[in-house]
Structure 1
Amino acid sequence: MGYKMSPFLCLFIFFSVASSASNSSSNNSSSSNSDTSNLKHFVYKPANNSSPNKPQQFAGPPSSNSKSSDSNSTNLKHFVYKPANNSSPNKSNQSAGSPPSNSSSNNSGTIKLHKFDATPFLPLFHGGVLHIGGFMNIYKNNTLERIKEDHKNVPPSFDSRTGVTSKDVEIIPENGITGRLYIPVQTPGEKFPLVVYVHGGGFVTKSAASPEYHNYVNLLVANASVVALSVNYRQAPEHPLPVAYQDTWSALKWVAKHSNGSGTEAWLNDYVDFKSVYLVGDGAGGNIAHNVAMWAGQDSLDGMKLAGMVLFSPLFWGKDIIGEHEPKDFKRRTSMKILWYVSTEMIVGLDDPWLNPIKDPNLSKLGVPRLLVCISENEMMRDRGEYYTKALRTSGWKGEMELHETTAESHAYQLTEPDGESARALLTKVSSFINKEP
């Protein structure tokens, strides 16, 4: 039997509200292939496939000094993060709006959010706590707490189901950036495409060792016949964005150092075809992958070029409501707003290109020649993914793009139900995209 998660754990991937998004716009189209009968997609190929002109020299990660918050940030002022004492508070001193004495977290316990003004959001608090999806609580005393997951992290291993072998590697030891490396069954001298996988979790939780991600990357490696590096980037709020972007960029630069066969990691030297490197990310990881691909369009990866990118339901948002699937109610839109401000230390607003790429005047510089965007009909970010592809088509970007929609599914279904018909069909689609000859 393959690994299967309870529906509740989908909450840990993004938001519990995702499954309650509008169920309108049902798709009645079908195909003769039973494995893909609930899938639809279109392919976009520009008439001119020539490479874009070389962009201006990359100036490094965006400076926080150049970012400003939009009008949506006026009630949140500014966050300053300071880790709290991880010891449990005494029950006798506990008051409403404080973390419970038996609280726990995946990373470093509770975190004090200084200068956070909770007053405008008090109607959303229940018993002194505001639940953000299934992975984070914010208390009236301006304390953030990660919610402990039901499943423990899993170690690297040989997976008897897929034949995939994995191990953990250090990428940038001084910054604590690590990853999990996977290799498929191979024959002597065989080279494989490389997938650099960026996990989701709302920028604040999850890792390469989370069971749903370890399981899915195993399946992807086996089905697509690729090597994969699943990146453990540093997370908010202790490390607000753009730290996750920088860490993932550093992981790509580390990979590129192996392109001449003399890097520090033997598996990359021995098994990777560096002409076929793909970025893949889901949810918040999709947001990270996109932003790193933007940097790749403006800087060199030490002789290595990205061959393409796959985004699963990327976490994009904006100040204004778009489409039919986004929630319109105050509670859910405010939850997204708070998540973003917690993730960025409030240096940017909801319409910043980090979160809303359709507002990016440099979108045409996206540094991949091929792109596959995968969305689900019953999720609140569905329209953001579609609008993103439309903006790319009109931006002047010269790549080849495909939008792929799965009907009657919700956010992260490929992780929560990896053995389901829809997830298997999506895995086949992604594998075909990666292995397609340019």
Structure 2
Amino acid sequence: MVLEQHKELITELLPFLRVRKDGTVERFYNPQFAPPSLAETYDDVWSKDVIISLEVSARIYLPNKTITKLPILVYYHGGGFCIESAFSILCHQYINTIASQANTLVISVDYRLAPEHPLPAAYHDSWTVLQWVAKHSTNGHNTHDEPWLVQHGDFNRFYIGGDSAGANISHHMALRAGKEGLNGGVKILGAFLSHPHFWGSKPLWSEPVSSRETSLLYRTWMLVYPGAPEGIDNPCINPFASSAPCLAGLACRRLIVCVASEDELRDRGVQYYDAVRDSGWEGELAMFEVQGEGHGFHILNPETENAKEMFKRLAGFLQNC
């Protein structure tokens, strides 16, 4: 009997992971890691890994050491808060491409994952890295400072961005920066939200009405944030909930929301764009939709023409053009 209880399932999110009653997490999706590029061997981009704290680390990408100052992007990867890594081959290739095409210094955050570290751990880690990066705007003589940030970072061109769950995180980082501010008085020039991971109990336009509580999106949220107040209408996952903060408080001057026509989360991204536009937020707002593609297509299939167009659009945004 004890053995059977030990093996009893709590939940499973196939084909990604399974959680048992004793707390054991069986992961079926284990991304292959890519080493950092210690020389200009990949799109002329250098990269290295840094430890920010006991909980969180990051990979930094430097596209061109000959340019004194470059825009800075703090990037948050996707994966439903429970899979993927800043060090995976997919993420490494994607950020190399972004850093190269946008000629931007990128800090890719490896936040802790649920269910071993349920939310809000990922939000805490993401904020820790954001503040760590911003702190370099006033430093330069401390032996613990990151030299690439000090020597090459232009803190007047400071961006945040992410895909899927990383876009969700970027949204919350922009809101928190508006309330608390960043070290050194750094201001976020822009944010990009690609295929943002938002959801809620009330279906939108093309979303299915039935079986919402058995859907993968619902079950994932309940796994990554057990006991979340208001459940699937918690402001962390539903920025349109009655208790969610006003979107006018987003602390960035430019914002682009990217959606894909075949993505199950497409309507949430469009609603987010509309809600920001109608909130009184005074920044420069844009939306970019790709037809015939699904969630995260540009990361999963980066060689397609649609993916190349997506990279071009993101690079242009980071280049402020």
Counterpart of 1:315 in structure 2: which amino acid? H
- 2:32 pairs, out of 135, 142, 152, with 152
CA distance in 1, matches of 2:215, 2:165: 17
Pairwise mapping of residues 379-418 of structure 1 onto structure 2 (< 5 A)? 379-418=263-302
Listed one character per residue, the Cα deviations across residues 383-429 of structure 1 (whole Å, up to 9, x for unaligned) are 00000111111111111111110000011111111111011001000
- In structure 2, the CA distance between the partners of 1:345 and 1:275, relative to structure 1 (3 Å rule), is same
Q: CA deviation at 1:266?
A: 0.2
Q: Do residues 430 (structure 1) and 314 (structure 2) align?
A: yes
Q: CA deviation at 1:296?
A: 0.7
- 2:119 pairs, out of 231, 235, 241, with 241
Residue aligned with 1:180, SS? strand
Q: CA deviation at 1:156?
A: 0.6
- In structure 2, the CA distance between the partners of 1:177 and 1:159, relative to structure 1 (3 Å rule), is same
Report the equivalent of 2:174: 293
Which runs of 5 or more structure 1 residues have no equivalent in the other structure? 1-92, 100-112, 117-129
Counterpart of 2:152 in structure 1: which amino acid? Y
Q: CA deviation at 1:96?
A: 10
Listed one character per residue, the Cα deviations across residues 214-236 of structure 1 (whole Å, up to 9, x for unaligned) are 00000000000000000011121
Q: CA deviation at 1:94?
A: 7.1
Residue aligned with 1:372, SS? strand
CA distance in 2, matches of 1:177, 1:164: 23
Q: Do residues 252 (structure 1) and 130 (structure 2) align?
A: yes
Residue aligned with 1:317, SS? coil
Report the equivalent of 1:98: 7
Counterpart of 1:178 in structure 2: which amino acid? S
> Do the aligned partners of 1:183 and 1:221 also contact (CA within 8 Å) in 2?
yes
- 2:200 pairs, out of 310, 318, 324, with 318
Counterpart of 2:7 in structure 1: which amino acid? S
Residue aligned with 1:197, SS? strand
Q: CA deviation at 1:310?
A: 0.6
> Once the two structures are aligned, what percentage of the paired residues are identical?
37
Listed one character per residue, the Cα deviations across residues 337-365 of structure 1 (whole Å, up to 9, x for unaligned) are 22112111222311121111122242210
Most deviating of 341-350 and 282-291: 341-350
CA distance in 1, matches of 2:129, 2:24: 31
CA distance in 1, matches of 2:22, 2:152: 51
CA distance in 2, matches of 1:222, 1:98: 47
Report the equivalent of 2:227: 346
Report the equivalent of 1:177: 56
Larger Rg computed on CA atoms: 1
> Do the aligned partners of 1:327 and 1:333 also contact (CA within 8 Å) in 2?
no
- In structure 2, the CA distance between the partners of 1:139 and 1:159, relative to structure 1 (3 Å rule), is farther
Residue-pair matches, total:
312
CA distance in 1, matches of 2:150, 2:124: 24
- In structure 2, the CA distance between the partners of 1:144 and 1:266, relative to structure 1 (3 Å rule), is same
CA distance in 2, matches of 1:133, 1:379: 19
- In structure 2, the CA distance between the partners of 1:408 and 1:159, relative to structure 1 (3 Å rule), is farther
CA distance in 1, matches of 2:251, 2:6: 45
Q: Do residues 190 (structure 1) and 68 (structure 2) align?
A: yes
CA distance in 1, matches of 2:211, 2:23: 20
Structure 1 length normalisation: TM-score? 0.67
Listed one character per residue, the Cα deviations across residues 192-231 of structure 1 (whole Å, up to 9, x for unaligned) are 0011110011111211111100000000000000000000
Listed one character per residue, the Cα deviations across residues 107-132 of structure 1 (whole Å, up to 9, x for unaligned) are xxxxxx8xx6xxxxxxxxxxxxx642
Report the equivalent of 1:229: 107
Q: CA deviation at 1:97?
A: 9.7
CA distance in 2, matches of 1:338, 1:186: 45
Structure 2 length normalisation: TM-score? 0.90
- In structure 2, the CA distance between the partners of 1:382 and 1:97, relative to structure 1 (3 Å rule), is farther
Most deviating of 344-353 and 267-276: 344-353
Counterpart of 1:357 in structure 2: which amino acid? P
CA distance in 2, matches of 1:371, 1:429: 13
> Do the aligned partners of 2:260 and 2:290 also contact (CA within 8 Å) in 1?
yes
> Do the aligned partners of 1:159 and 1:218 also contact (CA within 8 Å) in 2?
no
CA distance in 2, matches of 1:133, 1:372: 32
Report the equivalent of 2:84: 206
Root mean square deviation of aligned Cα: 2.2
CA distance in 2, matches of 1:417, 1:334: 25
